[in-house]
Amino acid sequence: MFPGMNAGQMAGMMKKMGIAQIQLPVRKVIFEMDDGNLVIEEPSVLKIKMQGQETYQVSGEAIEESTEVFSDEDVKMVVSQTEKSEDEVRKALEDSEGDIAEAIMELK
């Protein structure tokens, strides 16, 4: 960050300014979002305290996971009831936000 300054000097300077960093032993971080999850396995997480506030710095490789509000069993049941393709059924279940009855009605 500053040329010629080692990590110990940097830590001392941050302590004088009232900034504390704590490495947290975190195994997984999950950000739950409207359209899915962002998952970071084995992240590096720093808790930073500065001027009475706490912030968290997360770094690592993120993997996006989509979340479905219905199961494979739901899909099989709707396929058996409507005789539609699995792709059509999944689309109908997504449109109905997992409401099986509404998906069946839409497909019939």
pLDDT for residue 67: 75
pLDDT tens, 35-73? 889 999 999 999 999 988 999 999 999 999 877 788 899
Q: What is the pLDDT of residue 1?
A: 58
Q: Please say whether the beta carbons of 37 and 31 come within 8 A.
A: yes
What is the set of domains in the chain, with CATH numbers?
Answer: 18-65 (2.20.70.30), 72-107 (1.10.8)
Beta-strand runs (E) in 1-108? 19-24, 28-33, 36-41, 44-50, 53-59, 62-65
- What angle separates helix 72-82 from helix 100-107, to the nearest 10 degrees? 30
Per-residue pLDDT band at 10 (split at 50, 70, 90): confident
Residue 74 has pLDDT above 80, yes or no: yes
